[in-house]
A = this chain, B = another copy of it.
Amino acid sequence: MLPELKIQPLRCVLAIVDEGGFHAAARQLHRTQPAVSMAVRELEQRLGEPLFEKGGKATLTPFGRYCLPRFRELITQHDRLSRELWAQVQKQAGHVDMAAVPSVASRLMPQLLSDFILRYPDLKVSLHDGSADFVRRLVAGGEVELGFTSLWREDDELSFMPLMRDEVGVVCRDDHPLAERAELGWEALQGQVLIRNGTSRLLEGTEAEPLLEESAFDISNMISLTAMLVAGIGITTLPRLAFPQEYERLRFIPLVDPMVERELGLLRPGKRSLSPAAQAMEAFVIESLRAETLAVP
């Protein structure tokens, strides 16, 4: 019952009024004059009421004058929306919600993000950080679109793209007997006071696993862990990226005998797609890390 107004004919009416004639309007719209005439006529009989006077000149009827500002308003709304969506698709606007594991968040993301906003100055980014499992849950739950984390469990709801390897090493104070070694095997750690942490499960399933059994401490908080290390209470194992290099007295010695690595990469919703802004972020991260592959600072 209600007539379906199409945008184009409305635009014709505006052009006719603004340009003051069918011919001028046609020129502005890159159409021919008959096209404009017919569009208007079609619109008129759809409304059941003429918009322009019949005689000669392009003069609005009272009804046409009534319609004009309303047409203009609708078209404005349309154009606003069109521009907005276009900006989204062109990545000139939008928002990315992402999450990362703390080591990535503190060691990789600062540079990455500052490069990113240089490339996409109009995109907004929110970065959450937390344990690998926390990141995985955020991605799975759709609360963030991308996670930069290490993979430890296959999940066919999610898809993981590996981007870099991060080797595990031993961390101890600079006056520790092992501190001067260039590399270590697991046997060298026997008898040491080993502090477990959140990343220690990387050793599970390797020859070094027995060491974990002996450890008396299990400290997940990084601040507490480094405090204990600086105090010389014990040693621990960490991936290189998680090694807090800002503490001068701590040393990182690569573990080579059981060579253990974690794989860091981007976690994203399996089949589902990403928002344009998140697509930009994903591509940007992949591109950035392809360049400096294992170049961990």
Contact = CB atoms under 8 A, between A and B. Distances in A.
Given A6-B7, A89-B48, A274 B62 contact: yes
Interface string A134-174: 00000000000100000000000000000000000000000
Contacts of A67: 85
A276 B81 contact: no
A205 B128 CA distance: 97
A107 to B, nearest CB: 28
Given A55-B271, A145-B62, A82 B276 contact: no
Interface in A46-63: 47-50, 53-55, 59, 61-63
A275 B78 contact: no
B2 A62 contact: no
A83 interface: yes
Given A78-B74, A145-B62, A53 B272 contact: yes
Nearest to A8: B4
B7 A275 contact: no
A278 interface: yes
Contacts of A48: 89
Nearest to A278: B62
Interface in A36-80: 47-50, 53-55, 59, 61-63, 66-67, 70, 73-74, 77-79
The interface size bin for chain A is 35 or more
Contacts of A199: none
Which of A59, A70, A77, A273 is the most central at the interface, judged by chain B CB atoms within 10 Å of its CB? A273
B6 A61 contact: no
A135 to B, nearest CB: 18
B271 A53 contact: yes
A191 interface: no
A187 interface: no
A5 interface: yes
A63 B48 CA distance: 38
22 contacts: A2-B82, A2-B86, A3-B86, A4-B82, A5-B7, A47-B85, A47-B86, A48-B89, A49-B88, A50-B273, A53-B273, A55-B271, A59-B272, A61-B272, A61-B273, A61-B275, A63-B88, A63-B89, A63-B273, A63-B275, A66-B275, A70-B85
